[in-house]
Amino acid sequence: MIDKHPINSLVNSETVSDIFLELEDTFKFDVDVQCEMGKPISRELITFHEMKTIYDRCTEDDFFKSYKMVAVEKSYEITKYHKVIIITINEEFLKKTCTHPRIILQEDYDSDLKDVLDRAFEYIGKENITYIHRDMRGLDRDHRPFVVGYEKPKMITSPVLAIYFDSYGAKEYK
């Protein structure tokens, strides 16, 4: 039986970024995962029991080593963030193909986009996705322009597909 740690099942934006690296490899899309508000939305302390194996050191024979399982209480601080995945069309790709970006950002048109979105939705989970937004002018759901990049911030003016979701971070509480 594979032991899955409950904390590892939380949606983490770094894993979401890794899923979308496949999109970037196609050279069709630029993908950015960023925190929507910049600060954690909520913090919660959760406690549960983990099973720990304790081996008896008294026996000399490794084959007959005795052990016992003990439940150990663990506490974790869970931090919740609102994150957004911003998908835009790569300008170099547009110059080569002359395809309208509005058509490319439709799931049923582009098989690469559909495949990776399906995998991302599967990982993020429907319960963690709060909103899916498409805008042909590059505006977010509050009608403000998206700004991507940290070293060289760039305002998006092209069509955008944005997926708003809840992401979590966890650290052991002592």
pLDDT in tens, 127-147: 889 898 988 888 888 888 888
34-75 pLDDT per residue, tens: 887 666 677 777 777 777 777 766 656 566 666 677 778 888
Per-residue pLDDT band for 1 (boundaries 50, 70, 90) equals: very low
| Torsion sign over Cα 128, 131, 132, 138 | negative
* pLDDT at residue number 61: 59
Q: Which amino acid is at 16?
A: V
The pTM of this model reads 0.71
Q: Which residues pair with 67 in a beta bridge?
A: 55
Query: For residues 121-149, b (16+ Cβ closer than 10 Å) or e, as one string?
Result: beebeeebbeeeeebeebbbeeeeebebe
156-167 pLDDT per residue, tens: 888 888 999 888
- Ranges of beta strands (E only) in 36-159 are 42-55, 67-89, 129-135, 147-148, 154-155
Task: Calculate mean pLDDT across residues 15-23.
Answer: 74
* pLDDT at residue number 25: 67
- Locate the domains of the chain by residue range: 6-45+76-172, 47-74
* pLDDT at residue number 3: 47
Give me 145's structure tokens.
Answer: 């322009």
Which residue is listed with tokens 């409950």? Answer: 6
Alpha carbons 29 and 31: distance in angstroms, whole number: 6
Residue ranges of the alpha helices (H) in 31-110? 91-97, 101-104
Alpha carbons 129 and 132: distance in angstroms, whole number: 8
